[in-house]
Amino acid sequence: MTTPTPAQDRVLIFDTTLRDGEQSPGATMSHAEKLEIAQLLDEMGVDIIEAGFPIASDGDFQAVRDIARLAQRATICGLARANFTDIDRCWEAIREAKSPRIHTFIGTSPLHREITKLDQDEMVQRIHDTVTHARNLCDNVQWSPMDATRTERDYLCRVVETAIKAGASTINIPDTVGYTYPRESAEIIAMLRERVPGADAVILATHCHNDLGMATANALAAVEAGARQIECTINGLGERAGNTALEEVVMALKVRNDILPYRTSIDSTKIMNISRMVAAVSGFPVQFNKAVVGKNAFAHESGIHQDGVLKNAETFEIMRPEDIGLQATNLVMGKHSGRAALRAKMAQLGYELADNQLKDVFVRFKALADRKKEVYDDDLIALMQDSAASGADDHLQLRRLRVICGTDGPQEAELTMTVGGVEKSIDATGDGPVDATFNAVRMLFPHEAHLELYQVHAVTEGTDAQATVSVRLEAEGRIFTGQSADTDTVVASARAYVNALNKLVLAQARGNASAMIHAG
Ligand code: KIV
Ligand code: ZN
């Protein structure tokens, strides 16, 4: 990969959905989901994919290693703290990538120095030693002073100079707690370029969190001051209020290229598809009015707006829906639609279906169309996400569910599931149909995982609308998320629960979670 200098107009996009994004409580993704997202990031033109934190767990290590093996275009980066064990493990995970990068960091602000019990000189020595060690393994090393925006400016210059001298070729400036402001974000980059020898020979990166809602503005201000790498995540996923959203910076640079004359390598038409994918697998739905990818981002409700848009879309639209991969389609799907129409429609929505996939999705589509008069785009997207969530090899599979509801007395669920290939049935009661169903699942498959979140969203309007249900389970400090969609909310709930449990079973089989499940 060529290394542009700040004088050039190319801004590198560093995506950390799979590391900082996944670190956000509850956003844990399965191995297969991480690989699928990495593939989409690679295809959409992301320059650097931060694939994970290899020392964190065997699961993280395996995911980073497998992503390193599959990436065709992107540089694959792993995160490591400032110690040799972390860095060695990181290198093991990324070394097979076509273009590997080690990203090592240490907290440099007074608060963090207190935690690590290193004084200023000791920390400088640690930075020198760890960056040198990383550089001896890999010729592409990124270094970050965590909490840079709350680090004394003189000391920040000193540590950045140390890392550059030790061989880091990218210096990332994290606003770890989302504290900075656009003018200050720009000033820090300008100061480093002015005061630190060698700063213009490396890539300066910006990594902003969104605690005050300024992550995108702060990242763009840093770019104007000379930063040439933006660290971001899909849908702004990330710790607390999240990170800079990839879709926001990419579209801002595109739409306002008149005042932000920089380019990225991102194919923006792939944004919508990956946004949906990340929302589905992380269990973090995109807020309706989210910039660029929210459901309402291109919806015009008021009469004046609708009239204007019909006459000339530019009256109220600064970007075209198709720029982010939203197709204006005229294919209406219903129970008479055939396979070819379904394949074409799915392609418009960003899903290229192989023949065997089409077969399976078509069966599900027909079942849905039998229950629903009109099948909307959002229904098909939910159906795709639902198909991705379950597989024929799953340990737990829902066979039959019948619930009995009434105004008096507890609700009752009659459930049949296969557990490891053996069919089992049970009746259970509960406070409401979902509670009764979950009790039945627990009786057929006893486990200690704790239900952290249960969330229902209507996919479209109308009483025949599908419901998307997200379930988040916690077991031994690890999070497992399940999702499903169905016109029957209770069925979707049961499937989402079972889906999360299947992920837990898989993690246990890989040795990542031990003794969480009783034989059942
Ligand atoms: O926010 C932060 O400081 C980080 C670092 C690890 C780069 O994510
Ligand atoms: Zn971060």
- Ligand 1 pocket residue status of 146, Cβ below 6 Å: yes
The second-level CATH assignment, the architecture, of 9-282 is Alpha-Beta Barrel (3.20)
**Rounded average pLDDT over 480-497:** 91
Instruction: Tell how far CA 241 is from the center of its chain.
Output: 14
Residue-wise pLDDT tens digits, 364-377: 899 888 888 778 88
Q: How many CB atoms lie within 10 A of CB 408?
A: 4
**Ligand number nearest to the C-alpha of 172:** 1
**What spacing in Å lies between the alpha carbon of 76 and ligand 2's midpoint?**
17
- Extract the tokens encoding 30: 């399965």
State which of 224-238, 273-287, 475-489 shows the largest mean pLDDT: 224-238
| pLDDT class of 2 with cuts at 50, 70, 90 | very low
Residue-wise pLDDT tens digits, 271-282: 999 999 999 888
Q: What pLDDT score does 478 carry?
A: 79
Strand partners, 233: 245
Q: Are 481 and 280 in contact (CB under 8 A)?
A: no
Most informative mutation of 105, 150, 179, 239 for ligand 1 (most atoms within 8 A of CB):
105
Q: Give yes or no for residue 83 having a pLDDT over 50.
A: yes
Query: What is the atom index within ligand 1 of the atom nearest the CA of 148?
Result: 3
Q: Give the number of residues written for the chain.
A: 520
Residue-wise pLDDT tens digits, 319-350: 999 999 987 655 668 888 888 888 888 887 77
Please give the full DSSP string across 441-510, using - where no structure is assigned. Answer: HHHHS-B--EEEEEEEEESSSSTT--EEEEEEEEETTEEEEEEEEESSHHHHHHHHHHHHHHHHHHHHHT
Q: Are 148 and 173 in contact (CB under 8 A)?
A: yes
Distance CA 401, CA 12 (A): 50
pTM, to two decimals: 0.82
Q: Are 171 and 202 in contact (CB under 8 A)?
A: yes
Q: Lowest mean pLDDT: which of 337-351, 388-402, 503-517?
A: 503-517
Most informative mutation of 176, 177, 185, 218 for ligand 1 (most atoms within 8 A of CB):
176
The residues spanned by each domain of the chain are 9-282, 298-324, 329-389, 396-518
Q: What pLDDT score does 357 carry?
A: 85
Residue-wise pLDDT tens digits, 398-439: 999 999 988 887 899 999 999 999 999 999 999 999 999 999
DSSP H or E run through 43: helix 31-44
Strand order in the sheet with 411-419: 396-404, 411-419, 422-430
**What spacing in Å lies between the alpha carbon of 270 and ligand 1's midpoint?**
26
Q: Which residue has the higher pLDDT, 44 or 27?
A: 44
- Extract the tokens encoding 519: 């034989």
| pLDDT class of 124 with cuts at 50, 70, 90 | very high
| pLDDT class of 383 with cuts at 50, 70, 90 | confident
Q: What pLDDT score does 349 carry?
A: 79
**Ligand number nearest to the C-alpha of 233:** 2
- Ligand 1 pocket residue status of 144, Cβ below 6 Å: yes
CA angle 131, 179, 215 (to 5 degrees): 85
How much of the chain exceeds pLDDT 90, in percent? 65
Most informative mutation of 15, 18, 207 for ligand 1 (most atoms within 8 A of CB):
207
Q: How far is CA 270 from CA 42, 340, 366, in A?
A: 11, 23, 27
| pLDDT class of 353 with cuts at 50, 70, 90 | confident
Q: Which residue has the higher pLDDT, 112 or 467?
A: 112
Q: Give yes or no for residue 512 having a pLDDT over 60.
A: no
- Ligand 1 pocket residue status of 205, Cβ below 6 Å: no
* Mean pLDDT for the chain overall: 90
- Ligand 1 pocket residue status of 105, Cβ below 6 Å: yes
Supply the residue whose CA is at minimum distance from atom 1 of ligand 1. 176
Q: Give yes or no for residue 519 having a pLDDT over 70.
A: no
The second-level CATH assignment, the architecture, of 396-518 is 2-Layer Sandwich (3.30)
Q: Give yes or no for residue 311 having a pLDDT over 90.
A: no
Closest CA to 21 of 243, 292, 200, 332: 243
